[in-house]
Amino acid sequence: MKPATYRYPGENSTLYSTLFLVFLVIAITSTATFFTSALFVALAVAITYALNRAHHEDLISHAVVVNPQTLPELNNLVTACAKRLNVSNYEVYVARNHQLNAYTFGIHDQKVVVLYSSLLGIMDRDELAFIIGHELGHIALGHTKLNSLMGGMAGIPSAGFTSAILNFALLGWNRACEFSADRAGMLVNQKPEKAISALVKLVAGKSSLTKQDFLQAYRQIDAEDDSWLGNFSEVFASHPLLIRRIKQIQSYSRSAVYQRYITKERA
């Protein structure tokens, strides 16, 4: 007997109805997930925007804005760095802090660079130019806006494995951004050796001011990627190992692109 002769009359119609319902549920769920994710990203960006504004207002009240009246020499250096990278619509502040650090933020039109005051006492002009160029490079390359958006996407509620992949991807992108910003700093100060010494000083601090101590600090940095633990730790970090940044600076300084730029600038 053929199957059709004993198939229950309502079987096929029930199958078609069930398949339609399954695909409908999938479509609705996917649409809901998409809009929920989009809403979450928008909310994350909005929160970041509000925090940026609050931090900016705090800087205005507690930090010193760099301009021709407050810090004329530093302002001239910042202006020269920004001109070389064609960056406009920014503000630079010096915040009192004993840590050796600098950062940039902002997702609206005007971006902000913050230099910790301790940098001014330990870095020479060329090293400071590299640090300023690095931060302005983040602005020129659009990292400040993209980081807010990417951070929101990485924070989308999802399964643990998916969330981990998104976060690892974001960290990998952040590390790549640091390499790009280092190149911007090199194009500003045009002295790769000063870019390297600036990075060493950021880690070693005042203990690197003498030649012997500087070499000792460099040897410790050079050993960062000698072990599997050092290499593995980088996977969970937003910044590359310092020795990788130094090697990238050395490699880029020998590149044809960098050499053409330097030759053109000095012509």
pLDDT tens, the chain, 267 aa long: 454 544 556 656 765 776 677 777 777 777 766 677 667 767 776 777 777 777 778 888 889 999 999 999 999 999 999 999 999 989 999 999 999 999 988 877 788 899 999 999 999 999 999 999 999 999 998 888 777 655 544 444 444 555 566 667 678 888 898 999 999 999 999 999 999 999 999 988 876 677 888 888 888 888 887 887 777 888 888 889 999 999 999 999 999 989 988 888 776
What residue ranges in the chain does DSSP mark as E strands?
64-65, 90-95, 102-105, 111-116
Q: What pLDDT is stored for residue 149 in this prediction?
A: 59
Determine the Cα–Cα distance for residues 246 and 201; give it in Å rounded to an integer. Answer: 13
Q: Which domain holds residue 9?
A: 3-266
Determine the Cα–Cα distance for residues 210 and 172; give it in Å rounded to an integer. Answer: 35
13: β partners: none
Nearest by Cα to 89 from 102, 104, 72: 104
Query: Which residue carries 């990627």 as its tokens?
Result: 225
Number of domains in the chain: 1
Q: What pLDDT is stored for residue 61 in this prediction?
A: 85
Q: What pLDDT is stored for residue 1 in this prediction?
A: 47
Helices (H) and strands (E) in the chain, counts: 12, 4
User: Of how many residues is the chain composed?
Assistant: 267
Q: What pLDDT is stored for residue 144 in this prediction?
A: 82
Token pair listed for 8: 């229950």
DSSP notation for 24-77: HHHHHHHHHHHHHHHHHHHHHHHHHHHHHHHHHHHHHHHSEE-STTT-HHHHHH
